[in-house]
Amino acid sequence: MDRRHFVSQGITAVAGLSLGAMAAESEPESKIIILGVSCSPRKGKTTATSVKIALEAAQAVSPRIETQLIDLADMK
């Protein structure tokens, strides 16, 4: 297992567990919006990919969850 795979799997696991618990406690009708922020100066690289994987895992928890990735590499 390489570092990138390890990081993405760890983020996915933590996001899934956290969001699953949070979704169970919230109202059934409410929408959950999660923003993922990549602060790396290299657009679309390891950090952005890891955040994207975590956001995809969060969306898999519930259809009420919406996600958006903000990549700060665009803001120089």
| Domain boundaries defined on the chain | 3-74
Q: Given a cut of 60, is residue 26 above it in pLDDT?
A: no
Average pLDDT over residues 25-50: 81
Whether residue 71 is predicted with pLDDT greater than 60 in this model: the reply is yes
**Considering the entire predicted model, what is its pTM?**
0.60
pLDDT(15) > 70: no
- According to DSSP H, which parts of the chain are helical? 3-25, 46-61
pLDDT value, residue 66: 93
**Mean pLDDT over residues 50-76, rounded?**
88
φ and ψ of 15, to 5 deg: -65, -45
Task: Please identify which residue in the block is written with the tokens 């969001």.
Answer: 19
